[in-house]
Chain A
């Protein structure tokens, strides 16, 4: 049995045991490193989403007052309901709520400031929509101003010394009185999605930003999808393989790595500077984002085309299909899942892109949602940027809420990408 060791190893030897233990230990070590890395990544993700939700959830509700408002005909011009002293109407309403301070004008003004500055416009809009209401008493739900909203949500602690509080004791008392009267409600804050931006946090919403982003992405898609696929097909299927096509390939790969702010500068110089297009409009934003998305789509499409088995190409050529028939009849359908995935990932990137939009002015303060891609608008990421920059307390939670909205859109887009890939792949 002397040749047992010569053949390699002995199952039972202690040397073999040690070797085995060593190998298993290093394998375990590698595995635990991997698990550790994944755990850290997940912890970071939970931290991010957790912190966003814990600050952002406040913005999903908004404190309102449910008030009986008498639309005094003396204060509204029946012929032109747009002009009317709606502020006075609100003051009168508050007077009803606080009968004991009825005559103190300064005190009344202070009480009226419990209501959002935009409350008068809420009432005006209802009257303009239906002038018959003049003279009637209607029930309206109007948002309270930011400070009182914070108080109602427990973000202002009445126990802190009065000097360190934004709301003084008498203001808190007045709000508590309203609370006891049962007029304070805290419904879901649909205004976050249905209002455009506003200086007042309680009135500010994302409608303009969402529509602006949607227009910008639409323009971006319409430009970058056909151009990107066309470029990829040409480079992959038709272009001669020489120095020039190598140069183009290297440049496209480099373009994908160019910082987005550079594309913003390009958009500013070319689209706005040379072509004289307007600032802050989603159309220009979309074109700028398309510049960024193009390399991503080209690279994804080329990879997808390359992944189509050459045997399919040969089979089609072998029965006498022309190059164009091969590409459109066989290569593109098989490459479609990859192309769509790449495109949606590219668009998702574009959706979250901030810097280029800042440069072309899509961070302007715009209080109405755009009607067309050529109206001034913000986009979701730039709206987040604007709100993060705003000093009012209410914008803190709204910034987080806006980020959550943006993340929701991103997750939805990625889900669509996965869905499309499965759908097209199943079609053998």
Chain B
């Protein structure tokens, strides 16, 4: 059922990283997600699109169990990361979130220095025992996020003092610093100007080499630009999921067609 094959060392582009089956999410009595089945592939950018309130962010937050922090939220069904059910009692959501990093809609750096922002994750997970290791981790993460050149001379200045686009890249650096396997991005560019957006999109494309990236976006152009796979959500249903090209040029469902051509949403 799942395309998980641990014995094969070479990961090909189509290997399933996350497999979700019959996922239902309830906020109290309201059902936000209805029976979603989806296979998210490794080393691929998958975008979730759909009108506001369609459940795409809710579903994204199921993938690293961020919904656990909401009291009235209940998740049913099965989500497997590399074959491991992430809602199994043996799985600690805190450890899961180190494996499945997240970048939020609004840049939210900690009110600490740039260095401390990036070093926080590795520190709490004991990934670097000595200062030199930590320095290396911070540098790698900032390089991965394309922020190293701009930030290397001001690592001890507040992260909140950066520009919006830089702050968002700092948040990406913070998320990749723990060496996650999946990177979730909840509308990462909605608070950024076009130039900063272009930088982040370029970055997302580079991150694809090492991570499975899932991005929620309201911009169909962005989905078309950065993602290889696209999922269209509507009123809690996963209406259509496939290659981005297919979704935008030859959608199978009339709702998808209406949305991508701008008639609904």
Segment of B94-102, B143-151, B202-210 in the binding face: B94-102
How long is the Cα–Cα vector from A240 to B72 in the complex, in angstroms? 11
Is A319 a contact partner of B106 (Cβ separation < 8 A)? no
A241 touches B104 (CB 8 A): no
Cβ contacts under 8 Å, B177 to chain A: 319
Determine how close the nearest CB of chain B comes to the CB of A139; give it in whole angstroms.
64
**In the complex where A314-B66, A428-B160 touch, is A320 in contact with B111 (Cβ < 8 A)?**
no
Q: Which of A293-322 contact B (CB under 8 A)?
A: 309, 311-322
A315: nearest chain-B partner, CB-CB: B108
- The chain B residue with its CB closest to the CB of A241 is B71
| Choice from B94, B109, B112 contacting A321 with Cβ under 8 Å | B94
- Contact A334 B111, CB 8 Å, known A240-B71, A311-B104, A317-B97: yes
With the chains together, A314 CA to B98 CA distance in Å?
13
Cα A382 to Cα B141 in complex, Å, equals 62
A318 and B175 contacting across the interface, CB-CB below 8 Å: yes
* Beta-carbon contact of B178 and A320 below 8 Å: yes
Q: Is B195 an interface residue (CB 8 A)?
A: no
B124 at the interface (CB under 8 A from A): yes
Q: Is the CB of B108 within 8 A of A312?
A: yes
Residues of A in contact, count (CB < 8 Å): 22
A325 to B124 CA separation, bound complex (whole angstroms) = 8
- The winner among A240, A309, A313, A319 for most chain B CB atoms within 10 A is A319
Instruction: List A contacts of B108 (CB < 8 A).
Output: 309, 311-312, 314-315
- Are A428 and B121 in contact, CB atoms less than 8 angstroms apart? no
Given the contacts A311-B104, A314-B104, A320 and B95 also touching, CB distance less than 8 Å: yes
* Chain A contacts for B102, CB-based, 8 A: 314, 318
Interface of A is mostly: helix
B97 close to A318 (CB less than 8 A) = yes
For residue B141, give the distance in angstroms from its CB to the closest CB of chain A. Answer: 11
Which residues 316-364 of A have a CB within 8 angstroms of B?
316-323, 325, 329-330, 334
Q: Give Cα A309–Cα B110 distance, bound, in whole angstroms.
A: 11
Contact A320 B160 (CB under 8 A): no
Given A240-B71, A428-B158, A428-B160, residue A318 in contact with residue B64 (CB < 8 A): yes
The answer, among A318, A320, A428, for a CB contact under 8 Å with B124, is A320
CA distance A319 to B108 in the complex (A): 12
CB distance from A330 to the nearest CB of B (A): 6
Q: How far is the CB of B232 from chain A (nearest CB, A)?
A: 25
Interface set, chain B 18-57, CB cutoff 8 A to A: none
Q: Are B104 and A316 in contact (CB under 8 A)?
A: no
On chain B, the residues within 8 Å of A309 by CB distance are: 108
A71 → chain B, closest Cβ, in Å? 69
Bound-complex Cα distance A256 to B124 (A)? 38
CA distance A323 to B66 in the complex (A): 12
A319 to B71, Cβ gap below 8 A?
no
Cα of A314 to Cα of B184 in the assembled complex, Å: 13
By a CB distance below 8 angstroms, the chain B residues around A240 are 71
B residues 88-147 with Cβ under 8 Å of A? 94-99, 101-104, 106, 108-112, 120-121, 124-125
- B-side contacts of A314, CB under 8 Å: 66, 69, 102, 104, 108
Residues of A within 8 A of B106 (CB): 311
Are B66 and A319 touching (Cβ within 8 A)?
A: no
Given known A-B contacts A240-B71, A241-B71, A312-B108, A319 and B158 have beta carbons under 8 A apart? no
**A329 surroundings in chain B (CB, below 8 A):** 120, 124
What A residues does B98 contact at CB under 8 A?
319-320
- CA gap between A241 and B69 in the complex, in Å: 12
What residues of B have a CB within 8 angstroms of the CB of A428 in the complex? 111-112, 158, 160
Task: Return the contact of A319 from the options B69, B111, B112, B178 (Cβ within 8 A).
Answer: B178
Given contacts A312-B108, A330-B110, A428-B160, contact A320 B66 (CB under 8 A): no
The 7 closest A-B pairs by CB, nearest first: A320-B98, A311-B108, A319-B121, A318-B102, A320-B97, A315-B108, A428-B111
A319-B97, A319-B124, A320-B98 provided; 5 other pairs, C-beta below 8 A? A312-B108, A314-B66, A317-B97, A320-B95, A320-B97
15 pairs, A vs B, C-beta closer than 8 Å: A240-B71, A314-B69, A315-B104, A315-B109, A315-B174, A319-B101, A319-B175, A320-B96, A320-B98, A320-B124, A321-B124, A329-B120, A334-B111, A428-B158, A428-B160
